[in-house]
Amino acid sequence: MRILIVSQYFWPEYFPINDLALGLFERGHQVTVLTGIPNYPDGKFFSGYGFFSNTRQNYHGVRVFRAPLLPRGKRGRIRLAINFLSFALSASILAPFYCRGRYDVIFVYEPSPITVGLPALVLKRLKSVPIFFWMQDLWPESLSATGAIKSKRILKMVEVLVRFIYRGCDRILVQSRAFSAHVESLSASPERILYYPNSAEEQYQPIKLDVDAPERSLMPAGFRIMFAGNIGAAQDFATILGAAERLRDYSDIHWIILGDGRMRRWVESKVYQRGLTETVHLLGRYPAEAMPRFFSLADALLVTLRKEPIFELTIPSKVQPYLACGKPVIAALDGEGARIIREAGAGIACSAEDPAALAEAVMEIHSMSELERENMGMRGRDYFEKNFERTMLLELLERWMKEVPEPLL
């Protein structure tokens, strides 16, 4: 098949769509990606990229076309909105020129913003090609939940846009089953909605590091709780720091933070103000390839979300890599993410925004024997292989793409 992927984010930015594109290419399909200039998460163009440089590339056999956009910057809702809209506009204009020839399927990756669907709709009209729309985020709810937009009028306008995009998609893939009712309420018929969860790259698996591995030198001695990913408003670091404060007397318990994001400076200042510098360690961002190596040195892996109705419906994308690496998971969140951890028997889930409950969950894992923790992690790995394994999901997607009827126009 000839598959066109439309995504505002792509390599060298790190998102699950990178691996999905490679997986489809490895299975013999011709894959093209229409994306933007890489600028996430630092908010500025990656080295070597600009409005007119590196606009056409090859990623391990996948053709990549880049539409110009204005970088998202470090702070500011207006700047972020301009970033979203600039890609949607430029990609819609340039798509017919970049993406010449015929395609069998257009696949849209939407972790935010929803506007990424607009260039795909333009191409659908021109080429009469079905659209698969893979939802990672619910709009407009995600905007209100993170505080990005508070105006009810603007949120209503975004909802109108969402309805328009959903109506133009032939298949809407949801990363959480709990998304389905919401999508259906916004004018999407049930037969067009399919559950398609995230997976994890093959590199995510249980490993043992050599004694002299460089990652070991970065780790404090003791019991290590490791968080990896975006340090943002949705991840609720206030709860993490609240739990760390409650456990400050347990000097062997260490909180390891891998990643970066808009809230990093705030977290660093609070760690210093609360006197947690001995137990909370922000190590910065490392390449995705290094994550399984770091995870192997953790006693437990941590995932958190704020207490918002929308977050109860989502499965955080770090859940699958965590499970794949065979480590116990501590989940301070509600809803679907917590359900999976409990169903898998892969760790302990507690309520979101409850520092006392998170501290209690940490102590429960801390009190277990090494064998008990190992068994817990292996249950998570087994659950991953049965529900989220990469090849299984690629085969499923491939079958759906071959079976999709004539596009809805």
> Which pLDDT tens digit goes with each residue over 357-402?
999 999 999 999 999 999 999 999 999 999 999 999 999 999 999 9
- The per-residue pLDDT for 408 is 64
pLDDT tops 70 at residue 322 = yes
- The per-residue pLDDT for 90 is 97
Mean pLDDT of 9-24: 96
Q: In a 3-state reduction of DSSP, which class is residue 385?
A: helix
Q: What is the pTM of this model?
A: 0.91
Q: Do domains 2-199+389-403 and 214-387 have the same CATH topology?
A: yes
Domain boundaries, the chain: 2-199+389-403, 214-387
- The per-residue pLDDT for 110 is 96
Proportion of the chain above pLDDT 90, given as a percent: 85
SS (H, E, C) 36-105: ECCCCCCCCCCCCCECCECCEEEECCEEEEEECCCCCCCCCHHHHHHHHHHHHHHHHHHHHHHCCCCCCE
Mean pLDDT of 218-247: 96
CATH of domain 214-387: 3.40.50.2000
Strand partners of residue 254:
224
Average pLDDT, the chain: 94
- The per-residue pLDDT for 148 is 67
Confidence class of residue 41 from pLDDT cuts 50, 70 and 90?
A: confident
Of 130 and 155, the structure prediction assigns the larger pLDDT to: 130
- The per-residue pLDDT for 146 is 66
> Which pLDDT tens digit goes with each residue over 327-367?
999 999 999 999 999 999 999 999 999 999 999 999 999 99
Q: According to the CATH classification, is domain 2-199+389-403 in 3.40.50.2000?
A: yes
- The per-residue pLDDT for 147 is 64
111/234 Cα distance (integer angstroms): 14
40/13 Cα distance (integer angstroms): 6
> Which pLDDT tens digit goes with each residue over 234-254?
899 999 999 999 999 999 999
Confidence class of residue 407 from pLDDT cuts 50, 70 and 90?
A: confident
